[in-house]
Amino acid sequence: MKRELMKGNEALAEAAVRAGCRFFAGYPITPQSEIVEYMSWRVPEAGGSFVQSESELAGISMVYGAAAAGFRSMTSSSGPGFSLLHEGISYISSAELPAVIVDVMRYGTGLGDIFQGQADYWQGVKGGGHGDYRLLVLAPASVQESADLIALAFDKAEEYMNPVLILSDASIGQMMEPVSLPDLKGHDPDQFQWSLKGKQGGDFRRVTSTMYYRTDFNEYIKAKFDRIAENEERWESVSTEDAEVIMVAYGISSRIAKEAVRLGREAGLKLGLIRPISLWPFPKKAFTGFSENLRGFLTVEMSSLGQMGEDVALADRMRHPVYAYLSGDKVPDPETLVATARRVLAGEMKEAV
């Protein structure tokens, strides 16, 4: 397949259109603005609609409406804008509609900064909106994966009738890499019985929280999210079988961690990596088949507090200690990760969880 050199954000946007996305509403915010810019001309070119919304609150609401009409719909944001999306995300989940949301993470709390970072793990993975719902959360670690996961996201959103979150980050969104893209696909919004199109002589539709219309709602919704948890774990394991220290990292941090595994192994250090691709469900199934010599996990994250560590400890059922290398707004370097792994082996690190 032909490969092109593209920015992560643009590859993601183009792949969304090729997956059949025909409605996009968004608001400018760094470092995701390339997606809004790209979609502003590309979605109309493909026969769809683009709206630059007055706010993220309005943008996600437009996506809610478009999704209810049966169209493959998407928005993207970052930082404080991602916070504003959560009102609508909760509604879309409660109405059991498919939609794709992209958060190109930056660093910091409040206004924070436009720097690279991985500060939204908790908000994205644990549920940033009100209520009792989950999002399938997918984290790309390359430009190619940004394109691949967005197509998967649209399919999974429709399969489970729930929004899917792509948790990208500034580095993955801004870097340029070769990428191959699939052919342009259409999408028929009338293929669904549930899509709003006017009742056309049939029963009228009511798109709202599905809890109002099911007597078995509690069991039903639990079973649905259990099904996602069971079926949608995705991850990549690198040299974990004999590893004495296994790093756990996603997105940009996992790129560095993978290089650290190579460097460490060259120096005779038995390092491994688990790279979660799905953050919810967290890939618990990856946490098996380890060596008796495994001394612990080292989470590598671009946050200050270490947002993923607890999930690592739970996935491992706390059989091993969990340490953290937290690089805040700096992309870690592989040599430092190797040195940190040595400190784990030397018993010099304090447990993070």
Q: List residues near other proteins by CB under 8 A.
A: 22-23, 25, 48-49, 51, 53-55, 57-59, 61-71, 73, 87-88, 91, 95, 189, 196-201, 204-209
Taking the least distance from each CB to other proteins, the nearer of 196 and 263 is 196
Taking the least distance from each CB to other proteins, the nearer of 73 and 254 is 73
As measured in angstroms, the least distance from the Cβ of 41 to other proteins is 16
User: Tokens 């650290």 sit at which residue?
Assistant: 260
Taking the least distance from each CB to other proteins, the nearer of 27 and 323 is 27
Taking the least distance from each CB to other proteins, the nearer of 109 and 208 is 208
Report the distance separating Cα 49 and Cα 262, nearest Å. 46
Taking the least distance from each CB to other proteins, the nearer of 25 and 125 is 25
Does an H or E element contain 8, and which? helix 8-18
Report strand pairing: 271-276 vs 235-238.
antiparallel
As measured in angstroms, the least distance from the Cβ of 345 to other proteins is 51
Report the distance separating Cα 50 and Cα 345, nearest Å. 53
As measured in angstroms, the least distance from the Cβ of 198 to other proteins is 4
As measured in angstroms, the least distance from the Cβ of 21 to other proteins is 12
As measured in angstroms, the least distance from the Cβ of 157 to other proteins is 16
Bond before 31 cis per omega within 30 degrees: yes
Taking the least distance from each CB to other proteins, the nearer of 212 and 288 is 212
Three-class DSSP labels, 308-333 = CHHHHHHHCCCCCCEEEEECCCCCCC
How crowded is the C-beta side of 302, counted as CA atoms within 13 Å?
Answer: 28
As measured in angstroms, the least distance from the Cβ of 257 to other proteins is 39
Report the distance separating Cα 277 and Cα 254, nearest Å. 10
Report the distance separating Cα 126 and Cα 295, nearest Å. 28
